Amino acid sequence: MNAVPPVIFSGIQPTGRKHLGNYIGAIQQYVCGQDRGDPAIYCIVDLHATTVHYDPAELRDRVHDTTAILLAAGLDPERCVLFRQGDVAEHSELCWLLTSVTPLGALQRMHQFRDKSASQRELVSAGLLLYPVLQAADVLAYRAHEVPVGEDQREHLEIMRDIAERFNARFPLRRGTGEGRSGGDPGTGGDGLLVVPEHKIPTVGARVRDLQEPERKMSTTGGTEQGTVLLLDEPATIRRKFKRAVTDSDDPPVLRRGDDKPGVTNLIDILAVMRGATPAAIEQELASARGYGDLKVAVGEAVVAELAPLQERYRAIRADTQGLEDVLAAGADKARAIARVTLADVREAMGVGPPRSPGG
């Protein structure tokens, strides 16, 4: 029996400061997903970007930066749906409708809300609190089965699943009405109106760590400058950041992974992903290394080699702003056609708006 291909969906923040954690945790998975997903849908989440302080004059540029990075990394608009969240109004409407089944307390307990609200100097917006509901709407609008993300998104995926389950329980499918095309289900989601999605977290590199403070994740806003390897960093900068990576004071150096060795584990994992090898194979290969210096050089070189072609393609793609807008507009048309069907089902189930005409 042939497995039904999953609908894949993931969203990414608009910024030109995409880092190695985003690349390994998410972008590489997106590229693999475009040949597995039917469809694979990737969204640049400009609406999410407005939930914290931001510069309106820069937002569109940052969307173009991210679009160009994704294309340079290997996304092909012919094999996936790539679009800007703000171009598809169905996300915002579904977000509002889903708030009716979202417990306020659950939103207030989210780690990201607590961390980000603590660091807001001017305004903690209601949008920051509702962020996970909009994220749920992003995914549920496409009845996606699979959501490729890094480990840091696990909590958001849980609340998304909870919202879908609550919606399905509160507004069950009415058989024989044509309502609720649950979209085919390759093993997840039950048969409610909305599909309950699964996360897809990579086995290695799910949480790439800051090179200077390896107990923390590499992050656009929360990491250190020297510990964050940007995809668009110059090769010399990348090499230097790895050379200065914090390891540990084991003497003699111990080149193995372990919870007690976050810095070394991080470097071994990154090298494994870059080489397409297992961390165990990398440990074996390093058995004769003289110390942590060899590991740092090897991983720096591997990352430079991986990113050089991406950076070259980026420069050419980013220069064509109209071309990027055209890609996003075509992607939004495809996305809207899917989301519109889900929205019609959701409105019908919730009794919102006029009744659906027969056959509509």
Residues engaged in binding ligand AQP (CB under 6 A): 12-13, 19, 21-22, 24-26, 149-150, 152-153, 206-208, 217-222
Cβ-based nearer residue to ligand AQP, 149 or 286:
149
* CA-based torsion, 84, 90, 95, 101: positive or negative: negative
Which lies closer to ligand AQP via its Cβ, residue 207 or residue 261?
207
Q: Cβ of 297: how many Cβ atoms within 10 Å? A: 14
Judged by CB, which is closer to ligand AQP: 83, or 167?
Answer: 83
Q: What is the DSSP letter of 152?
A: G
E-state strands within the chain: 8-12, 40-44, 81-84, 146-148, 198-200
> Least distance (Å) from ligand AQP to the CB of residue 143?
20
Q: Please, which residue, 143 or 209, has the CB nearer to ligand AQP?
A: 209
Task: Outline where DSSP puts E strands in 52-167.
Answer: 81-84, 146-148
Identify which of 252, 169, 158 has the alpha carbon closest to the alpha carbon of residue 199: 158
Phi, psi of 250 (to 5 degrees): -60, 135
Q: Does residue 39 have a cis bond before it (omega within 30 degrees)?
A: yes
Helix (H, G, I), strand (E, B) or coil at 154: helix
Q: How far is the CB of 30 from ligand AQP (least distance, A)?
A: 9
Measured from each CB, the residue nearest to ligand AQP is 25
Distance of alpha carbon 47 from alpha carbon 243, whole angstroms: 37
CB of 154 to ligand AQP, least distance (A): 9
CB of 127 to ligand AQP, least distance (A): 14
Tokens of 17: 């400061």
User: Closest approach of Cβ 170 to ligand AQP, in Å?
Assistant: 29
Closest to ligand AQP by CB, 97 or 144 = 144
C-beta of 193: minimal distance to ligand AQP in Å?
Answer: 26
The residue assigned the tokens 């307390």 is: 105
Name the residue among 205, 222, 90, 213 with its Cα closest to residue 148.
205
Return the structure tokens found at 63: 């969307």
Of 47 and 218, CB closest to ligand AQP: 218
Q: Toward ligand AQP, which CB reaches closer, 100 or 120?
A: 120
Instruction: Give min distance, CB of 162 to ligand AQP, in A.
Output: 19
